[in-house]
Structure 1
Amino acid sequence: MTEMILSEQLDLFVADIIDAVPKGELSTMEYPIFAISTRPDPKPYRFENPKTGAWMEILPSSKGRATIHDKDILLYCFGQLAEAANRGRQVSRKVHMVAYDFLKQTNRGTGGREYRAITDALVRLRGTTFNTNVRDGSQLAQKGSVFGLIDYGQAVTDNSGRLTHVEVVISEHLFAALNNKQILTYNPEYFMLSTGYERRLYELCRKHCGNQNSWEIGFKNLHNKFGVRSSLREFRRKIKELVVKQSIPDYYIHLLEKNGPDTIEKLIVKRKTSKNYISES
């Protein structure tokens, strides 16, 4: 991918590429930054990986922690920026996108509720911050660092009060990941996944299975990576529903059980042989 050039003046990048595919930044795929519930979650959340020593504190604003559906704005922006860079265009952290185009490409409706939801998402994205020792992918810092998702967000309306376009300034932390090619392509069918559990499982499969034929993860570790407050028992029930549904694009999932159906040892992921997006960065 062509290296991106960031204007020091933060010139406005216009997101106008029709066939751009969504892209996800690696650390936001690996760590449970986003709440998977659509209900506001105003409580801080702490993630710890006992094997690597990585930790992250997610600090929401009074409006709640950014949700995995709010993340669609970032996936859309990353996809537009990456494709523009591939075409030799100058890009910037400051992104202008047409609200209607965003709603259509992320498989949302175009009614008043969907337009209003964009503004709510901007508030949560701007208000959620992180304190972590994770730096530059898998590297760990000796001390914690604080960063956010976006530095600024604005929903612009016309004279009739209808939202026409959105301006977002992506944080330097996330934009650096784009410059360093720390991103992966999402299957556009991701936007058809209605629940947070489906979306979170897809991005974990996408990141960890990659172009391998299979991947497996211990069930307690999976529960930790989801970043949910529900009990392990409730989490097990949700994952079992996904196994029956088999709705995750590009991947089959099944559970390896031991000593009865209530004791799940690990989740097994197998890549489908049909065309998918795992080979693209």
Structure 2
Amino acid sequence: MSEPVRLDLMPLDQFGALGLHEKNAYLQDLADTFCARTGRETLELSKDALSRLRRFYSRRSLADLKVAPEPTNALEQALRDLGEAVKLNERRPDIVGALTAELPAPVLREAPEDDSQLSFFVPSIYDAPLKDDVNLMDVAPFSLGKAKRGGEIRYELKDCIITIDGSASAGLATVFDYDIFLHMVTSLAEEARRYRLNLDKGLRTDAPARVYRPNSSHILKFCRRSSGGKQYKDLESALDRLQGTRIKILNLTGGSRREVVAMPLIQTFKVISKTTTGNIDQVEIGIPDWVYNGVVREKGNPQILTLNPEYFLITQGIGRFIYRLARRAAGKTGIARYGLKELHKRSGSLQGLPQFAFQVRQFVSSTRVFPFPDYELEIVEGKREEILVMRERKPDAADVPLGSGAGAPELPLA
């Protein structure tokens, strides 16, 4: 867990003696320091932000000790110094919290220190592109938050109804649990690629296995996570949620886009071995038939898409949902647009539409300071509602306005 940000604050009396422009300049310097210590790019504070920060900074606390305006002896001076120290310590979290609220949060977390150093024992899966199942990328087949969530998520789309159910004990899988699913699909896709290459060479070879046995360290490395003890402990809980989360799809059109099936995100899992500290060392994961058939037995191209490895560094669940949707919807034309009502519908979020829309606006605003992987995001005014525009980032399209692209499909199908 990262250490809280500590700022060296100017004494309250000294701050109060500054003129308005001097206060603003000091607060801007404070914001620049905060950005440097939290991995943010520096940003000029607006007049409203500066006004709010001045109020936070000048607010008195209950720890304000009553002493004479000017100390007349050593005891009064000590009490004054003590009171000022207490006030600064109590006000510091307020200032940090205010700066956090006023400045955009990083879109991506920092990669682990050993991110670029592949272990000798790490299989070649780490050189394979990250893959996701294309048929699940236009909705969130998981909870967007980290907190436990029960019940179900129901998506009523034009061509089908999708229901996501979690187990009563473990709850729904989260967007961060889904990293393990991506590891499974990517591993299988790499095995299938080698299998087809051998077939093309006329070599006799076995089809990819329907189970695979990754080490927990391999999963964590693939997902670009640190290898701390908590990460290992969280793996088993994540596997419980993935195994207990089932997807039921009812096709409404009779087409071939999706079948009428009920399927788990992972078929089974079994802990094969543990470390001396009791953490998972190796696990066996059963690959569901619908995943296996889509990757290995699919005629023509497998039903998977490559994701940017920086997907794993996206800090917010809403950001990961938007990336997967953009990758799915903007794949053919390079641009896609979704109204915020439709976006809310496809996110499975428990938030009301106003709160969800606010969160999307905040996230899109952050991407202007911290670039989002592969796509430029913008919210534009539509005829009836605001529209999220997702455009693939291409050097030769830098001068094309984000709001353009009238020919882009609103709800593209596979």
Q: 1:151 aligns with which of 239, 261, 267?
A: 267
Give SS of 1:47's match: strand
Higher helix share: 2
Whether the 8 Å contact between 1:254 and 1:269 is mirrored in structure 2 is yes
Give SS of 2:249's match: strand
1:81 aligns with 2:202: no
1:60 alignment counterpart: 166
1:105 alignment counterpart: 222
Q: Deviations over 1:101-122 (max 9, x none)?
A: 2112212111111001110111
1:29 aligns with 2:137: yes
> Where does the alignment leave 5 or more consecutive residues of structure 2 unmatched?
1-120, 199-206, 397-414
1:93 aligns with 2:210: yes
1:202 aligns with 2:323: yes
Structure 2 Cα separation of the partners of residues 137 and 76 of structure 1 = 30
**How does 1:216-235 map onto structure 2 within 5 Å?**
216-235=337-356
1:114 alignment counterpart: 231
Query: Which residue identity does 2:235 align to in structure 1?
Result: I
Percent same amino acid among aligned pairs? 28
TM-score where L is the length of structure 2: 0.58
Whether the 8 Å contact between 2:236 and 2:280 is mirrored in structure 1 is no
Give SS of 1:139's match: coil
Query: Which residue identity does 1:16 align to in structure 2?
Result: P
Whether the 8 Å contact between 1:81 and 1:91 is mirrored in structure 2 is yes
Query: Which residue identity does 2:306 align to in structure 1?
Result: T
Structure 1 Cα separation of the partners of residues 324 and 292 of structure 2 = 19
Q: Note the C-alpha offset of 1:160.
A: 4.2
Structure 2 Cα separation of the partners of residues 15 and 134 of structure 1 = 41
Give SS of 2:127's match: coil
> Where does the alignment leave 5 or more consecutive residues of structure 1 unmatched?
1-13, 276-281
Q: 1:48 aligns with which of 131, 156, 163?
A: 156
Q: CA RMSD in A?
A: 2.4
Q: Note the C-alpha offset of 1:211.
A: 4.2
Q: Deviations over 1:191-210 (max 9, x none)?
A: 00111111000000000001
Whether the 8 Å contact between 1:250 and 1:274 is mirrored in structure 2 is no
Structure 2 Cα separation of the partners of residues 258 and 209 of structure 1 = 19
Bigger CA radius of gyration: 2
Q: Note the C-alpha offset of 1:137.
A: 8.7
Q: How many residues align?
A: 255
Higher strand share: 1
TM-score where L is the length of structure 1: 0.83
Structure 2 Cα separation of the partners of residues 56 and 211 of structure 1 = 24
Q: Deviations over 1:45-97 (max 9, x none)?
A: 21101x33x10121111211011111111111211221222223741220111
Query: Which residue identity does 1:163 align to in structure 2?
Result: I
